[in-house]
Amino acid sequence: MSHGQILVVDDEPDIRDLLRDILEDEGYTVRVAEDARAAQQACRQQRPQLILLDIWMPGMDGLALLREWQGGGGLPAPVIILSGHGTIETAVEATRLGAWDFIEKPISLAKLLVTVERALEANQLVRENVRLRHAQAREIEPQGESEMMQALREQFKRLARHDSWVLISGEPGVGKTTFARYLHSLGRRSKGPMIEVGGATLSRRDSAMELFGAEQGELIQYGLLEQADGGILYISEVMDMDQATQGRLLNALESQRFTRIGGRTPIEVDVQIIAASTHDLETAVREGRFREDLYYHLNVVQIAIPSLRDHAQDIPGLLESYVNYFHEAEGLPIRGFTVEAQNFLRHYAWPGNVRELRNLVQRLLILGSTGDVDLDEVRRLLGATPLPRVEEESPPAIYDMPLREAREQFERDYLRRQLLQAGGSMTRLAEQVGMERTHLYRKLRSLGLDPKECKE
């Protein structure tokens, strides 16, 4: 298997042949060009991964070729300059024009091979970073072309012009964290950090140290507030914070200053807060489970993210988007969906919302065969039936229950299905439903569900 494709550009046939033989012996694929024009033609035919370029050639020299490439949109690949009459000025100019390194003739075999290897490794890292940034961009921008999703994105674009505290609400899995990252990417704080933390994490015994950091002699531990300085602190499931932590956080954020645990000097910070919750915080305030003053600070701007059921017309586009994402991010195969499969998924209940759809696509690409995903394959993985339409003459029994009983029945059915998909694993279940494990155990007990019954 080839280690990489290299283009050798040199007007001396003996040097071209020597370099080709050496590099091919090392496992590289090598093409050669005798001058600048031949090099340009070779790059048009097939883009190399590395170019060894002689400086002094008849007609257009190596530096002129570098200038032309830069003027035309950038170098086609990393370039290592070769020169038998190298000067510092030549090396500096070549570096300014984008050359990766400079090797003098007569060429040292050891230096050549080390430089080539490092240049190819560096190029691979650059390409990997580009791929990851592209994949991350897909993850950051919320997907969907329905009027509802377009309006929501516009709302976040307007919101990004301000530093107001933001409360994002919605069912588990609707994409609250994705929208928080989207808001961060749009605003003036995009060059600053976005520190993400769960509300339950901030309710542990060491939560004060987690938030504010600590000092012990010369040893300093930087807390989340300092880490988020100049950027955003995103708190998911803010309802999971205990009231003592709510109070400490509020005091620090109102004054934008605090003192590390064990320290004496006040630390000033500039932090914007984005919080998210699946719970009705207004009800929690009335019941005394959430601080009223913190709620009103968070509720400067509240945005509700709709469930996937409310914009089911986006499902075909989301399926395609996630297929492309997992192909680019994880190298999974590209697969389409039959019309029957898409229609089924558009009418499915999606209790886990966009997160459930994303996980489904990933499983289909990992476990499935080649070809399009059909209805039977979707049914096997979901083990579900489509969402009944509200206008049907015989509504499901759940619609005839009091709200509290209907909610409990839905939660029981939802968590039982998620448990089965997680194979009884509480770790996987917590990730799927977006709940902290302590609260999840409590919820399962209240609903009479036993994870052991769903073990794989």
The Cβ of residue 148 has, within 10 Å, a number of other Cβ atoms equal to: 14
Q: ∠ CA(435), CA(437), CA(441), 5° rounding?
A: 105
- The model's confidence at residue 137, banded by pLDDT at 50, 70 and 90, is very low
Mean pLDDT, to the nearest integer, of 284-310?
90
In DSSP terms, 277 is beta-bridged to 169
Task: Give the residue, 170 or 384, on which the prediction is more confident.
Answer: 170
φ, ψ of residue 272 to 5 degrees: the values are -100, 140
For 84-128, the pLDDT digits (tens) are 766 677 778 888 888 888 888 888 888 889 999 988 888 777 765
Mean pLDDT, to the nearest integer, of 225-248?
88
CA distance linking residue 136 with residue 51, whole number of Å: 30
Whether 223 contacts 260, CB under 8 Å: yes
- Residue 317 scores a pLDDT above 90: yes
For 150-190, the pLDDT digits (tens) are 999 999 999 998 888 999 999 999 999 999 999 998 988 88
User: Residue 47 contacts by C-beta under 8 Å, 6 or more apart in sequence?
Assistant: 76, 77
Nearest Cα residue to 348 out of 316, 399, 382, 398: 382
Amino acid identity, position 156: F
Residue 408: both structure tokens together: 């409990």
Residue 384: both structure tokens together: 């579900």
Q: ∠ CA(412), CA(384), CA(454), 5° rounding?
A: 50
Mean pLDDT across the chain, nearest whole number?
83
Q: Hey, what long-range contacts does 124-130 have (CB within 8 A, 24 or more apart)?
A: none
Residue 129: both structure tokens together: 């970073």
Burial of 80 per CB tally in 10 Å (0-12, 13-18, 19+): buried
- Residue 384 scores a pLDDT above 60: no
Task: Look up the pTM and report it.
Answer: 0.58
Burial of 389 per CB tally in 10 Å (0-12, 13-18, 19+): exposed
For 44-75, the pLDDT digits (tens) are 777 788 999 998 888 888 888 888 888 766 78
The arrangement of strands across the sheet holding 194-198 comes to 194-198, 232-236, 272-277, 166-169, 301-304
- The model's confidence at residue 34, banded by pLDDT at 50, 70 and 90, is very high
- The model's confidence at residue 385, banded by pLDDT at 50, 70 and 90, is very low
- Residue 398 scores a pLDDT above 60: no
Percent of the chain with pLDDT over 70: 89
Whether 305 contacts 153, CB under 8 Å: no
Mean pLDDT, to the nearest integer, of 320-342?
89
Helix (H) or strand (E) holding 50: strand 50-54
Bridge pairing between strands 214-216 and 219-221: antiparallel
Helix 315-330 and helix 339-346, axial crossing angle in degrees, nearest 10? 110
- Residue 394 scores a pLDDT above 50: no
Nearest Cα residue to 55 out of 6, 96, 120, 99: 99
- Residue 22 scores a pLDDT above 80: yes
CA distance linking residue 202 with residue 168, whole number of Å: 18
CA distance linking residue 273 with residue 254, whole number of Å: 11
DSSP reduced 3-state for 79 = strand
| String of DSSP letters for 341-402 | HHHHHHTB--TTHHHHHHHHHHHHHHH--SS-B-HHHHHHHH---BPPPTTSSS--GGGGS-
Least confident among 3-7, 120-124, 437-441 = 437-441
Mean pLDDT, to the nearest integer, of 256-277?
89
Can you give the pLDDT at residue 233?
A: 93
Say whether the peptide bond before residue 106 is cis (omega within 30 degrees of 0).
yes
Residue 108: both structure tokens together: 């040292």
Task: Give the residue, 316 or 371, on which the prediction is more confident.
Answer: 316
Can you give the pLDDT at residue 55?
A: 87
Residue holding tokens 């080390």?
A: 114
In DSSP terms, 234 is beta-bridged to 196, 274
Nearest-10 Cα torsion for 57, 62, 63, 69? 140
